[in-house]
Amino acid sequence: VIGAGPGGYECASVLAKEGKNVCIIEKNEMQLGGTCLNEGCVPAKQYLETASYLAKSSYAQSCGIDVKEPHLDISLLKKKKDELTQQLRSGIQTKLKKVQIIFGDASFKDENTLLVANEEILFDHCVIATGSIHRPHPTLEVDGNLILSSKEIFELQTLPHKILIVGGGAIGCEFATFFNTAGVEVVLAEFTPTLVPNEDKDVAQTLERELKKKGIRVHVNTNVTNHIKNQNSIAITLQTPKEELQEEFDFVLVSIGRMPNTCTLNLNNAKIQTQKDFILTNKHLQTSNPHIYAIGDVIKTPALAHMAYNEALTVANNLTKETLHVSAVNVPFVTFCQPQVASVGKNEKTLTQEGREFIVKKHFYKSSAKAKIKGDDSGFIKLLVDKNSDEILGGSMVGNEVTELIHQILIAINAKLTCKDLAKMVFAHPTLSESLWEMLN
């Protein structure tokens, strides 16, 4: 297995439990757990969870709690993040106790041989799980000083006064929430017409409105046309639909997505076909070389850790069982900004393109007692329902804890439940979950 991120270590662990002789290769010990653990989803959620405590301070004060000038010490937060990643990294090492771990850069010598630090490793089967790398901006090259990627953000010892975030996808919106909550002036620029471009338009518009309410300056359909680096700041020219803006920032965070980490693997030597650096696979996750598999961000499936986990189990099954499996179809997408955003199943655009007749059902959290108790009743739940069968085809959520609540809709879709089925169930009160029941009755 090449790569010890979520997909790689999960696949290696399961294969070892099945009695296979497994070796996993990672660049170095500090990279165990991959991008997700070390510079991605795990530290980002640690930062966002901490910021959420700060965000609730004014509401807590209104409820009678004496909160005196709360502030964020990012150096202490970094220390806590480092402790967390080390704990989880140790857990991964324990999980891989039956797996041989080799550190170094791997590449293919031929169809059955890998090279790692000039050492040849022969294999019967191989799983490529090398993940993804930062997608470079056409003009804003990351320098680790004034132009940063998400990796460098987690090394900050002091907070900036003003930051430009380029890219309004999940990563950009999450960091916009974090820095805004910490008291930093935030400008968020997105090249496409909406934030979180993969979500339905009403979801994106609601998120944009709520971020603006918090003081984040959001510009969509906006491009960076020029930049000038100064000693301790960077001057940026933004072209918006209405005007050209010139502003100075302490630094710029570039978060325009990620790309497959496959360029150094010498895939041609193993007769593995690619398309725009993505490895091509069949439905069983085999590459054009049938005894080599690929999972995670290197293939054209959603670049999500939980997707990689599922693909890891699929490959482990297909290497050890007679019945071949395919990966899951319905995968939840979650963004941990404030308010949170989540979706699963088919969206409005997909259903319209398919010519499927569907009904949109929507319910706002304004009527939720629990949302008001928690101090945030923004957002809504939306279900997309087959017009004829009443079957739930997809759903979206914006609001309080929806990254947890979305799994209600995931289960309903996979179980092929109808709205009438859900309406007959009993949901506890007062909960956020009951809003789903309330919208159907």
Between CA 188 and CA 196 the distance in angstroms is 12
Contacts of 380 (CB under 8 A, 6+ apart): 206, 362, 363, 364, 365, 397, 398, 399
Between CA 335 and CA 58 the distance in angstroms is 24
Q: 249-275 burial, b if ≥16 CB within 10 A, otherwise e?
A: bbbbbbbbebbbbbeebbbeebebebe
Secondary structure of residue 382 in the 3-state scheme: strand
Secondary structure of residue 103 in the 3-state scheme: strand
Single-letter amino acid code for the residue at 409 = I
Between CA 25 and CA 16 the distance in angstroms is 14
Q: Which of 71, 161, 407, 429 is catalytic?
A: 429
Between CA 440 and CA 383 the distance in angstroms is 10
Secondary structure of residue 341 in the 3-state scheme: strand
| Residue 196 contacts residue 204 (beta carbons within 8 Å) | yes
**Catalytic site residue 429?**
yes
Contacts of 431 (CB under 8 A, 6+ apart): 370
Between CA 382 and CA 204 the distance in angstroms is 13
Nearest to 341 by CA among 283, 391, 288, 403: 403
State CA 373 to chain mean position distance: 28
Secondary structure of residue 187 in the 3-state scheme: strand
Between CA 97 and CA 220 the distance in angstroms is 48
Name 162's bridge partners.
Answer: 185
CA atoms within 13 A on the CB side of 285: 32
Q: Strands 126-128 and 119-122: what pairing?
A: unpaired
What are the DSSP calls for 115-171, one per residue? EETTEEEE-S-EEE---EEEPPPSS----SSSEE-HHHHTT-SS--SEEEEE--SHH
DSSP state of 388: T
Between CA 243 and CA 241 the distance in angstroms is 6
Active site residue ranges: 429
